[in-house]
């Protein structure tokens, strides 16, 4: 599907699902501003995006510093001449037993997964409403929909992200569509070591009717669809990409 001529912001762009989303959007014809803390990783990503004939703006930034987010959106709008799409893919997790979680653990996870995502939605949404429309896709999680083995702050923050997506979808309709995607267990560099242990790999496969671990491309292709005109009648949804886990 084509999104030629559009401009997108993608956070968490340097690795994993976020990186795959950048590449998928570029392949569909979108110019992308990638946001991540690692300037070196963004430079490598720029070469891949430009290799398929699209423009790339590297934005080294920590999205948890929310006061800088309106300026980030303005920077991208000036660079691209428009802002059509926002994808909040930045995320973090603290793996700890519920009895061991500290206030700092909780705040660290919510600062990125929910707080930063909302305030970037706010800044981008304001620009999109002014310009006449746009699409926002937030990367939530299966853990924000049902109980899994994920940590409490991670699960709660992703549930918050899914719900704020629904609320904003209603508030900003019909100009701006807002959806969330909820990946199940998807292999990335952050969780490969965990997934590759026989016990954990078996646990995931036992709970996944499709019989495999997800790949970042499984998520990225849905994000591209939701960001495109082909999804013009879809808003306020949290669509799970979990290999059938939640259907059981």
Task: State the catalytic residues.
Answer: 154
The contacts of residue 98 (CB under 8 Å, 6+ apart) are 152
Kindly tell me the burial class for residue 166, based on how many C-beta atoms sit within 10 Å of its own C-beta (0-12, 13-18, 19 or more). Answer: middle
Q: Which residue has the tokens 């398929």?
A: 52
Residue 165 structure tokens? 């997506």
């Amino acid at each position: 599907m084509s999104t030629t001529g559009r401009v997108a912001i993608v956070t968490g762009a340097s690795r994993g699902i976020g990186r795959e989303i950048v590449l998928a959007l570029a392949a569909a014809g979108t110019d992308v501003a990638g946001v991540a803390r690692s300037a070196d990783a963004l430079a490598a990503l720029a070469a891949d995006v430009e290799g398929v004939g699209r423009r790339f703006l590297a934005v080294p930034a920590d999205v948890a510093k929310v006061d800088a987010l309106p300026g980030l959106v303005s920077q991208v709008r000036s660079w691209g001449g428009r802002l059509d799409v926002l994808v909040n893919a930045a995320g973090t997790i603290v793996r700890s037993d519920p009895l061991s979680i500290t206030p700092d653990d909780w705040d660290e996870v919510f600062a990125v997964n929910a707080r930063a995502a909302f305030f970037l939605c706010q800044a981008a949404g304001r620009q999109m409403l002014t310009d006449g429309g746009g699409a926002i896709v937030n990367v939530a999680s299966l853990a924000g929909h049902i109980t899994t083995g994920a940590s409490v702050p991670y699960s709660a923050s992703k549930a918050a992200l899914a719900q704020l997506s629904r609320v904003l979808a209603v508030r900003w309709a019909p100009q701006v569509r807002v959806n969330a995607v909820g990946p199940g267990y998807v292999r990335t560099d952050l969780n490969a070591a965990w997934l590759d242990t026989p016990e954990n790999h078996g646990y995931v496969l036992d709970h996944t009717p499709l019989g495999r671990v997800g790949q970042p491309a499984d998520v990225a292709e849905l994000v591209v669809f939701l960001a495109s005109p082909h999804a013009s009648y879809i808003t306020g949804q949290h669509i799970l990409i979990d290999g059938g886990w939640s259907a059981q």
